[in-house]
Amino acid sequence: MTTKQIIDLLPYSKPFLFVDELEKINEDGVTGSFTFDPQLDFYKGHFKGNPVTPGVILTETMAQIGVVCLGVFLLSAEENEFNGQVAMTSSNVEFLRPVFPGEKVTVIAEKIYFRFNKLKCKITMQNEAGVKVCYGELAGMFIRKANG
């Protein structure tokens, strides 16, 4: 499965798709990136006169790249078909630095485990300078549909 096919299978679309590119993906993890368009609606009110990317959006970006993209890849490796259903089951994220409009971030995820339809990953987000902006552990449950 190509990285483009993985992105095409994601159950998101703009303006809520936070994956531009997957640079690397294998059974142990994924690395991907996203650039925050300064025109995204949430910047209009977060914060007045000094917009920054909300933590919930940073967490969502980490989840889309680090959990959902990796889960789609792992399901395809097991010859299962992803049917577009995934739910976040846990998150623990520490925020270190702000991410501003127009910034490109890279998400690096390492699989902790994938069993019983649950994927848990250790995830780090860094800015273009390679500085860590947030990190944590995220997990999600996938609905599998076996090929048949």
- Domain borders along the chain are 3-146
Nearest to 11 by CA among 109, 87, 85, 90: 85
* Spatial CB neighbours of 103, under 8 Å, sequence gap ≥ 6: 35, 36, 53, 127, 128
Known catalytic membership, residue 11: no
d(CA 84, CA 91): 20
- Angstrom distance (rounded) from CA 66 to CA 121: 7
127 pLDDT more than 70: yes
**pTM, 2 dp:** 0.94
CA distance 22 to 29: 11
Q: 121 by DSSP, 3-state: which?
A: strand
Checking if the pLDDT of 40 tops 90, the result is yes
Beta bridge partners of 86: 142
Q: Rounded CA gap, 123 and 64, in Å? A: 11
- What are 72-108's pLDDT values in tens digits? 999 987 777 777 789 999 999 999 999 999 999 999 9
Characterize 50-74 residue by residue with b for buried, 16 or more Cβ atoms within 10 angstroms of its Cβ, and e for exposed. ebbbeeebbbbbbbbbbbbbbbbbb
| Catalytic position from the list 12, 46, 54, 135 | 46
CATH superfamily of domain region 3-146: Hotdog Thioesterase (3.10.129.10)
Per residue in 41-66, pLDDT tens?
A: 999 999 989 999 999 999 999 999 99
